[in-house]
């Protein structure tokens, strides 16, 4: 890994994610940062998102539909993803540490992290009378 230098852009990407309570995609980060950095490029946003994720300073969320989402919230938490509107909600489940201990016993390697996504219809969509399909 090469040495790292300060960059205004990287700082802005991280700061932006930390002040959001939702889970933007790279493209959303790009559009929003453009307001402060009219010349920032999408490539730079992607490069910094990948780097920050690798450093563990942000989290990458794969929902299984379309683009990746990013999360600046480092508190341990999990996600509920609505199968209809694809909104990602934060939820907090306590038993995760116990779960990881149990999983470690059955695991072909040393577990370092765990992504726990719950899927279903969110209450908003349910109240609009949507059913699953």
Q: Which of 15, 36, 67, 117 binds DNA (CB under 7 A)?
A: 67
Q: Which residue has the tokens 């694809």?
A: 86
Nearest alpha-carbon partner for 133 in 121, 119, 122, 124? 121
Tokens standing for residue 85: 């509107």
CB-based contacts of 85: which residues, under 8 Å, 6+ apart?
Answer: 122, 124, 125
Q: Which of 12, 120, 129, 131 binds a copy of itself (CB under 8 A)?
A: 120
Residue 83 in contact with DNA, rule: CB under 7 A: no
Which of DNA, a copy of itself, none binds 41 (CB below 5-8 Å, type-dependent)? DNA
Which of a copy of itself, DNA, none binds 47 (CB below 5-8 Å, type-dependent)? DNA
Tokens standing for residue 48: 């910094």
Q: Which is nearer to DNA, 50 or 96 (CB)?
A: 50
Beta 69-71 vs 78-82: how paired, if at all? Answer: unpaired
* Interface pattern 50-89 for a copy of itself (x via CB under 8 A): ----x-----x-xxx---x---------x-x-xx-----x
């Amino acid at each position: 890994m090469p040495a790292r230098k300060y960059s205004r852009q990287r700082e802005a990407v991280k700061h932006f994610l930390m002040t959001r309570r939702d889970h933007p995609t790279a493209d959303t980060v790009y559009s929003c940062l453009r307001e402060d950095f009219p010349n920032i490029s999408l490539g730079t946003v992607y490069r910094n998102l990948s780097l920050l994720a690798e450093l563990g300073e942000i989290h990458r969320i794969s929902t299984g539909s379309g683009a990746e989402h990013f999360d600046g919230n480092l508190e341990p938490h999990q996600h509920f993803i609505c199968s209809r509107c694809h909104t990602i909600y934060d939820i907090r489940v306590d038993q995760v540490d116990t779960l990881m201990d149990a999983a470690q016993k059955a695991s072909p390697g040393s577990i370092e992290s765990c992504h726990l996504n719950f899927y279903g219809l969110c209450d908003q969509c349910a109240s609009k009378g949507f059913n699953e399909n």
